[in-house]
Amino acid sequence: DLVVTMASSSTSARRLLKMAGQLARPMVAGGSSRVAVSAHCRWPMAPGPARRGLSSAPLCCQMQTTELYRDDTIPLQKTERKAAEVHEELYKERHITVHACADLFRQWKRTRPGYKYVNEDGVSVPLSYIHTGLDRQAGADAPVVFALHGAPGSYREFDNLVPVLDARGASVIVPTLPDLTFSMKTQSFWHSVEERTDLIRRFLKAINVREIDMMVVHSSSMYPMLQLAMHDPEIKIKSLVFIAPSGCRRIRQLSPYWMMKSFDDWFRVPWLQNFLCDMAVYIVRLLGKPNNNEMKGTIVSMITIMNARYDEAGPMVCEMKRRGVPMLMLYGEGDKLIEREVSEEMAAMMGVRPALMHVYRGKDDSEVVLEQSGKLDGNCEVVCFKQGTHYAFKKFPSVFNDVILKFWERNHEARV
C-alpha cells in the first residue's frame, strides 16, 4: 500500500521507486524472482545467509562501508574505547532540556512543505554536553570555546582537542545535537539550518553564554554558526575555526538532486520513514555514496545539507572577512564528501589562495610532513592536508591541535 501511495502521488517518487526496484534485483539468486519481505516495511531483504553473505536482518542494519570511502567513515565505538575511558574520567557529561523552534513551527506547519506533522508549540530537546569550565570551577571571566560537531556526530568528535584548550584555561563547551532517531520519534526536528540555529541559540542562553572567544565547527555545522555570528546581536563570536566545512555551494554528493530532494520530501511522512531507511541502502549502493556504517547517519547528513541554505554562506564568509573576524580553515584534499574545488572556493572567500596555504603531506600523524609553509591573509589562515579526509582530525590530531592552539594564542592570548 505504501508503494502505491507514493507512486501515484509524484513523478519523482515513481522514478525513485523504479530505481530502487532495479537495485533490488541483483539481491535475488539464480533465476528465481522471489524475495523475502520485511514485516515492518515490505521492502526486499536477503532471502538467506547464502545470498552474498547477508543475514535476514533489515537491510539498513546490514550496510557495509563502500570500499572507496572507508577512510571517510566515522570510527566505530569499539576503536575509541580507550579514548572514551580517558575522556569520561576528565569531563562530566551534563544534561539539559531546551525548548526550541516554537516560532518556526507555528508558521511552518501550515506554510512549509515537510512540516505538516511538527508540533506547533515547538519541541523539547534533551541535550548532553561537556563544560570544562564548570568541571574545574573556572571564573566567570574565563575565555569560552564552543565546538559543534557535524551531522551525524557527538561531542566525542572533539576528544583530542578539548584537553589541549582546557589546559590553556579555556572553558570548552561541546554539546551533542539530536540525531535522526530523535526526529523520527518527535516528528518535530528536521535539521534545517533554521532549526539548528534556534536550538543552539537557546542552548547558549540556557547555560548563560553570551560571548564566545572561539567557535570550532565541523562540516555542516558551519551554517548555523554563520547564522549566529551574522544575525544574533545577543551572542558575540570573536573568532571562527572551520574543520572540513561543507562549503558555499551545492556539493557533488547531493547529486542527482531530484532523487535527494524527493527522498527528503517523502521522509517527512511518518509511516514511510522505516521503509525509506531500507530503500536508502540500495540508493547508497547504486550511487557509491560515502556512508558511516549506520544508515540513519547517512540520511541525516543528506537532510542537513539539503536544508542548510548553503548558497547564503559565501556572502556571510566574505562579510566576516570584511569585519576582520579571525578565521581558520582546515580541510583535506582526499575528502570524498566535500570536493577540493568547493574547499578552495571557500578559502578564496577568506582571502587565501593555494599558494598561501599551509600544506601537509602524509597519511597520518606518524608520517606527516610540512610541504608548504603558508602565510596569513590579514587574520585568516587555511591549512590543507593532501591525504586528509572529512575526518582528518582523527588521523592528524597532533597537527590539528597545534594549528588550532597557535590560532588561539594569536587571536586570544595575545590580546589578554
* Between 219 and 62, the higher pLDDT residue: 219
Q: Hey, how many other C-beta atoms are within 10 angstroms of the C-beta on 349?
A: 21
Can you tell me whether residue 129 is helix, strand or coil? strand
pLDDT digits (tens, 9 = 90+) for 392-407: 999 999 999 999 999 9
Which of residues 3 and 229 earns the better pLDDT score? 229
Radius of gyration of the chain from Cα atoms?
22
Q: Which residue has the cell 589562495?
A: 353
Q: Which of 317, 327, 315 is nearest to 381 (CA)?
A: 327
pLDDT of 328-382, one tens digit each? 999 999 999 999 999 999 999 999 999 999 999 999 999 999 999 998 888 999 9
Distance of CA 6 to the CA centre of its chain: 29
Q: Which residues of 212-243 are buried (b: 16+ CB within 10 A; e: fewer)?
A: bbbbbbbbbbbbbbbbbbeebeebebbbbbbb
Q: How far is CA 18 from the centre of its chain?
A: 30
Strand partners, 369: 361
CB-CB contact of 150 with 221 (8 Å): yes
Average confidence (pLDDT) over 53-65: 39
Nearest to 172 by CA among 221, 216, 206, 205: 216
The confidence score (pLDDT) of residue 328 equals: 98
User: How many residues does the structure list for the chain?
Assistant: 416
pLDDT digits (tens, 9 = 90+) for 107-130: 999 999 999 999 999 999 999 999
Please state the domain extents for the chain.
Answer: 2-76+252-306, 77-251+307-328+389-415
Instruction: Give 236-284 pLDDT, tens digit per residue.
Output: 999 999 999 999 999 999 999 999 999 999 999 999 999 999 998 888 8
Among residues 262, 303, 260, the alpha carbon closest in space to that of 11 is found at 262
Whether the predicted pLDDT of 409 surpasses 50? yes
Cell triple for residue 229? Answer: 555570528
The pLDDT score that the predictor gives to residue 72 is 45
pLDDT in tens, 166-209: 999 999 999 999 999 999 999 999 999 999 999 999 999 999 99
C-alpha to C-alpha distance for 72 and 390, rounded to whole angstroms: 6
As a dihedral over the C-alpha atoms of residue 352, residue 356, residue 357, residue 362, rounded to 10 degrees, the angle is: 160
* First-residue to last-residue Cα distance in the chain: 66
**Res 377: pLDDT:** 83
> In CATH, which of 3.40.50.1460, 3.40.50.720, 3.40.50.1820, 3.40.50.2000 is domain 77-251+307-328+389-415?
3.40.50.1820
Within 180-266, strands assigned E span: 211-212, 214-218, 236-237, 240-243
pLDDT at position 15, please?
59
Q: What confidence score (pLDDT) does residue 75 get? A: 38
pLDDT (tens digit per residue) in 19-37: 555 544 444 333 333 333 3
**Local structure of residue 88 (DSSP, 8 states):** H
